[in-house]
Every structure is written in C-alpha cells, then in structure tokens.
Amino acid sequence: MLVIRFQPVGKKHQKIFRIVLQDKKSKLSGKIIEKLGWWDPRLKKGDFKADLIKFYISNGAQVSDSVWNLLIKKAIIKGKKRPISIKNKRNENT
C-alpha cells in the first residue's frame, strides 16, 4: 500500500519536511517512490505538486493525517480535517 507522508530533512531543530510517496512499510528515511513537494513549518512556506498529489490519491494512495490537514489548509484537496494525536515518548516508558 502506498502512503503520502512527511519525510524530515535538515538540521536538528531546523527541520524541513518533504512530502513523499512511499510504501507504507518502509522507514521514514527509507526509499521513496516520488517527491511530491516540501513544507517549512517555521516559515509556513512550501511547494506542492498538486496534480500528482490528486492523481495518487485518486488511485488509492493513503494520506497521513498531518499531510491531509496541510493539503486541506492549502486548498489542494477538499474535506474535513482529521484529529492528530501526538505521542509523548517520555510517558510511554513509565
């Protein structure tokens, strides 16, 4: 199954995220099928290949919740935003 998700790149505390198409079972830093854009959360800027994103979604690619909400915010796709739950790694070990 294919998934559209963020891939973090850049320095520590200065992350920029690529929006990539990957196999769901591959690692975040693993092999990608195609680059679909990028997003800089500090500057709130990004570039998206809207036609390719719509093509892959229409052909069955799943979209992560964070990318889904960003695409709705940038009016690339239409729909409702999804709730995002962020796991705190410190609390999981206790």
What's the distance, CA 26 to chain centroid?
14
Q: Give the C-alpha separation, 66 to 13, whole Å.
A: 19
Give how many domains the chain has, as a whole number: 1
- At 12 the three-state DSSP class reads coil
Q: Give the C-alpha separation, 41 to 30, whole Å.
A: 22
Provide the residue range defining the domain that includes 68. 2-82
Classify residue 94: in a domain, yes or no: no
Neighbours of 92 (CB within 10 A): 7
The predicted model gives 31-58 an average pLDDT of 95
pLDDT tens digits, residue range 55-70?
A: 999 999 999 999 999 9
Residue 51: CATH number of its domain: 3.30.1320.10
User: Which residues lie across from 20 on neighbouring strands?
Assistant: 5, 35
Query: What pLDDT score was predicted for residue 46?
Result: 95
pTM: 0.84
CA angle 94, 8, 2 (to 5 degrees): 95
